Amino acid sequence: MAGFPASAVVPRFSFRYGGKDSGEFLPAWKQHTSTQKADGASLTRLEYLDPAGILAVTVHIRQFENFPATDWVMEFENRGSADAPILEAILPLDLAVPLPPEERLRLHHANGSACRMDDFLPLTTEISPGACQTLSPRGGRSSDGTLPFMNLQRAGGGLVLAIGWSGQWAATLERSKDALRLAAGMERTHLALRAGEKIRTPRILLLPWEGDDEAAGRNLLRRLLLAHYLPRIGGELVMPPTAQCLQFYYYLTGKAGESLEMTALPKAAALGLEVYWIDACWFGDRGQWWEEVGSWVVNREKFPHGLRPISDAARKAGMKFLLWFEPERVRKTSRIAREHPEHLLRNPADPDNLLFNLGSPEALAYITNILSRQIEENGVDIYRQDFNFEPLGYWRAADGPDRIGMAEIRHVEGLYALWDELRRRHPGLWIDNCSSGGRRIDLETLSRSLPLWSSDFLDTVGLPFGQGLHVGSQCIKAGLARWVPLFGGGVWDFTPYGVRSQGIGGFTFGCHIDPRDFPADDAPSTVTSNAVMAKGKTLLGDGFPLEAARAAVAEWRSLRPFFLGDFYLLLPLTVSYHDWCAWQFHREDLDAGVAMFLRRHRSPFPAMEVTLRGIEAGAWYNVSLSPEFQEAPRQRIRGKDLVRMTVEISEAPGSVLLRYTRAP
């Protein structure tokens, strides 16, 4: 049988209740099923009720009309008048698939974000008979170190698994002699539901695919996410933008304020940028930004008229206004800590940082109103939510012995409720999901937000690496694009190689650093970020390369429609300074695409042979190969010469952008 059988995408789950495995008793429970159609899918509600009328288990199942995918989430409710027996080991996915011992099984997965050059690097693990592989994030943020998307490949096809849980999930693949067990859920659950309590589980998505190329499964996932998950406003997909932000200038000088923003803003608009971005420099009383989280008031010394004049000016100039928040982290000297300590969770291992308890209905209502008021008063178009510490220790410290997992469940549920309510109150609001840069990317957050800053390596952390910053950017962007269609990142220089190194997704910049001012490869231990930043040119003064930036934005606009296409790595993706990086977007509906070729700064290879995807050998194509931002003249080329081609780049570092369209 090719690939995975249809039975692999029927919801299979397990749990223990009162010390017994669900398989022992669930078939005897009362069952009720109802189905309806909505938004290109069949929605099924499957309910189980125990004979005593205490525990109700409901499975909400979505099966898509145009994709062979099944998505489900479970709910557990205590309908009795006293505590229910212990509910534990909840696995919304617990699937067994027959698998002959001689058959090869590969798990394609990826690093998550860890503020490293190899964030989102592709990984492949062989799952041999007798092997057991467990994947989970670090510290309670869903993509911290490990991405919650994976692709199992066997003979003739495979199975994509995506997890929607913005907390501490775990997925285990255990292979016996003749079968594979695939299980996923929260890492720890052992709890007694109180009377009337209801909880939900992580969301599970299974997507089977056929063929011999694992990229087929990932591209099917990208298409599914674009069609049914990623945020829309007015029926239109929210697309990653170009933006400008002066946060780096604040890091360097300690200066921020209305006059600086109003100086940079018209210049940003003149470049054709779409978003004006104010990050963590606008709030609090007198301390550094990280000391002020929990004091969500505009700093009137820096912004005497508030932020509304800036947001109004941005919209008048044709840009949206983005504002940074970090509501889940509270410093012990902040206003919330002083005025509402009852809303906070504590962790003895980190006494200076407190976790705002989104799992408390009263606390959730309080912070929702604060954020909503700031969004309204300051004219915020894009609400940016950061999350710069690990919550897991706080959740576990709050749990009693018969409530293990409860604080995490309630917090994650509260996060979704917060975002859903902000979007309800403010139609048209975008949400930018940042968690120390790309550490909370999962199926649920992607359904509500875009991660516009995919890794903090793209922040000042990467600057001491010099040209290694661009190598990291290539890895981060191309690695994430294998799974997630729409996201953003950062630009630090406006050369073609520098901009194209992050050419997938949106980008944000604060300055231009001449490549000659980047440190040498051995600099990370001896050069500070500030020393590199000090050489940068901003929109606040002279020397910023306006024409190069304008040309870069224009080229990026020509690429953005292809982010909606299928994505392919044309060469193995590494962080070696000696390698090339090459990728391709192909739009089957347009018979067109783009491919990027990047020769890294230590590469000794002036040419590379690649195989393009989606090209018909017998067709003709109009093709350009552009080393500079200005597109080179197009030439008519036979498809067979385009499928297998040699690309030459004489400079290291250097880049070439290939554009192609099928000729009439």
Residue 523 vs residue 427, higher pLDDT: 427
Q: Could you tell me which residues come within 8 angstroms of residue 242 by beta carbon, excluding any fewer than 6 positions away?
A: 272, 273, 274, 275, 506, 507, 508, 553, 556
**CA–CA dist 635, 622 (Å, integer):** 5
Indicate the pairing of strand 620-626 with strand 635-638: antiparallel
**CA–CA dist 400, 177 (Å, integer):** 39
pLDDT at residue number 2: 65
Task: Please indicate, yes or no, whether the overall pTM of this predicted structure exceeds 0.85.
Answer: yes
Closest CA to 149 of 564, 392, 525, 442: 442
What average pLDDT does the structure give for the chain? 97
**CA–CA dist 38, 55 (Å, integer):** 28
pLDDT at residue number 3: 83
| 385, pLDDT greater than 60 | yes
Interval 251-304: pLDDT, tens: 999 999 999 999 999 999 999 999 999 999 999 987 789 899 999 999 999 999
Closest CA to 396 of 198, 188, 148: 188
Interval 308-322: pLDDT, tens: 999 999 999 999 999
What's the token pair of residue 461?
């952390």
Domains of the chain: 6-228 (2.70.98.60), 239-453 (3.20.20.70), 564-662 (2.60.40.1180)
| 1, pLDDT greater than 50 | no
Interval 178-219: pLDDT, tens: 999 999 999 999 999 999 999 999 999 999 999 999 999 999
The angle subtended at Cα 571 by Cα 568 and Cα 576, nearest 5°, is 125
Contact 490, 511 (CB under 8 A): no
Burial class (CB within 10 angstroms; exposed 0-12, middle 13-18, buried 19+) of 168: buried
**CA–CA dist 262, 270 (Å, integer):** 13
Q: Could you tell me which residues come within 8 angstroms of residue 482 by beta carbon, excluding any fewer than 6 positions away?
A: 110, 120, 122, 215, 218, 567, 569
Residue 287 vs residue 415, higher pLDDT: 415
